[in-house]
Structures are given as C-alpha cells and as structure tokens.
Amino acid sequence: MIRFDLQLRIGTRDARLTLDVPATRLAVVGPSGSGKTTLLRALAGLHAATGHVQVGDEVWLDERRNVPTHQRRAAWVPQDALLFPHLDVRANLLFGAPNDDELREVAELLALTSLLDRRPRHLSGGERQRVALGRAVLARPKLLLLDEPFAALPASQRLALAEGLRARCDARGVAVVLASHDRDDVRALAEVRYGLEDGRLVGA
C-alpha cells in the first residue's frame, strides 16, 4: 500500500499530490516537466515537501516527523545511471547486495552475469541502467522508485526485464512507483496508472 498527500513545489508552481490506493505498483505518466521526477524525489526525501507519506505500515512524513532520506527504505533509480566509476559491476552491485547468492540471482535476472568484471566506462547506456537497477533492487527497499528505468534498453529486452522485476517485487513485498512515457513499461509493471497534470494526479 502506498499513501501520500504532499504539498510541494514543481518548478514555479505549488502543487498538492494525493494518492491513497491499495495497489503496490503504480505508474505516473505525464509530459516532461510535469513533475514526475520531483514526485519520486519527494517520496525518497530528496525534495522538500510537507504532508504525509506512508508505505505499508511505515510513516515517513507527517506533522510530527520527516524521516531522513538515508533512513527511508526507498531506492531511487534516476534516468541517468549513477554508478561508481572506479568500481566494476560486481562491486557496484555489492553496495546493495546482502549476500553473493542474491547478487548472482539479480545479475541473472538483469542479464549482467557476463559483465560483472567490467568498469562502467566499458558499458553501454542500457547496461549501466541495468546495473543501477540491480543495485537498487539488492538494497532490499520497501519502495522502489523508477524514473524511465528502461529508456536506454532495446525493445527486445524491455518486456522480459519488466516482467522479471515485477515478479521479484511482488514476491518480496516491494512497492513500486514508476515514472514513464512508455505504455508497454507501464502495462508490464503497474497495477494502476495516474496522470500528472497541472500539479495534480488524475486517474488515467
């Protein structure tokens, strides 16, 4: 369950974004500049906001508390993969991995097994994006925040990757908020879809 009622600034506009649904996987769609990334950052505690944020039984923001980013069990995967350039893929993944068995499982899921010894500078954009996604998944978050997570991947890989990620998140009780322009990604990952228009969320 994901529940929030946020007052925040999107560009030059004050906005109030409210959602209270039993779904654990939701997508937010809208044009560039509508505030999708700002919403993800606010849920992670990276963008100033007031109001209420609750994921499952954990309250991260209300009138009495504002849990800092590093204490929120949220993993954010931005559009630009932010990897440690001096570390190979294995070491980048191990920043989130609790054990080697789980690392191997996720590396296989994301088709990274053959890339574990490479440095980021030797990876394609899609490969770097998969590493960033794997590191986030391995951190065992309660909420996974995805900002156009498959944008750099070829169409032939996207569906299988999205379906594998959905199955893993469902099995482990991980909630997902996806910001995406891609209808196929939304269909593959999300239970419900909302549009972000004029500083508010509307059913889509």
pLDDT of residue 15: 93
**pTM of structure:** 0.92
Q: Do 130 and 111 share a structural domain?
A: yes
Domain range enclosing 50: 1-73+147-204
| The two three-digit tokens of residue 190, written as one number | 């999300």
Look over the chain and give the mean of its residue pLDDT values, rounded to a whole number: 91
What DSSP line would sit under 65-110, residue for residue? -B--GGGS-EEEE-SS----TTS-HHHHHHTT-SSHHHHHHHHHHT
Considering its fold, how many domains does the chain have in total?
Answer: 2
| The two three-digit tokens of residue 14, written as one number | 């004050």
- Please indicate, yes or no, if residue 98 is contained in any of the structural domains: yes
Specify the 3-state DSSP secondary structure of 20. Answer: strand
The H or E element spanning position 58 is strand 58-61
79 and 151 in contact (C-beta within 8 Å)? yes
Q: Do 69 and 23 share a structural domain?
A: yes
Q: Across 22-26, 45-49, 124-128, which has the greatest mean pLDDT?
A: 45-49
Q: Do 63 and 88 share a structural domain?
A: no
- Please indicate, yes or no, if residue 167 is contained in any of the structural domains: yes
pLDDT of residue 96: 64
For 127-135, what is the mean pLDDT? Answer: 93
- Domain end call among 95, 123, 140: 140
Q: Do 103 and 168 share a structural domain?
A: no
Q: Do 122 and 26 share a structural domain?
A: no
Domain CATH number, residue 204: 3.40.50.300
Q: Do 121 and 155 share a structural domain?
A: no
- Please indicate, yes or no, if residue 78 is contained in any of the structural domains: no
Q: Which residue has the higher pLDDT, 88 or 32?
A: 88
Q: Do 62 and 151 share a structural domain?
A: yes
Q: Do 69 and 12 share a structural domain?
A: yes
User: Which residue in 40, 45, 38, 41 sits closest to 15, CA to CA?
Assistant: 38
User: How sure is the predictor about 98, in pLDDT bands with cuts at 50, 70 and 90?
Assistant: low
pLDDT of residue 178: 96
User: Bridge-partner residues for 52, per DSSP?
Assistant: 5
Residue owning tokens 């505690």: 45
186 Rama class: left (phi>0) / alpha (psi -120 to 50) / beta: alpha
Q: Do 92 and 65 share a structural domain?
A: no
What DSSP line would sit under 163-185, residue for residue? HHHHHHHHHHT-EEEEE-S-HHH
Q: Do 128 and 175 share a structural domain?
A: no
Distance of CA 193 to CAs 13, 38, 105, Å? 23, 17, 29
> In this model, does residue 198 exceed pLDDT 90?
no
- Domain end call among 117, 140, 163: 140
- Please indicate, yes or no, if residue 121 is contained in any of the structural domains: yes
Q: Do 193 and 107 share a structural domain?
A: no
pLDDT of residue 97: 62
pLDDT digits (tens, 9 = 90+) for 52-86: 999 999 999 999 999 999 999 999 998 887 899 99
Q: Do 194 and 161 share a structural domain?
A: yes
pLDDT of residue 204: 57
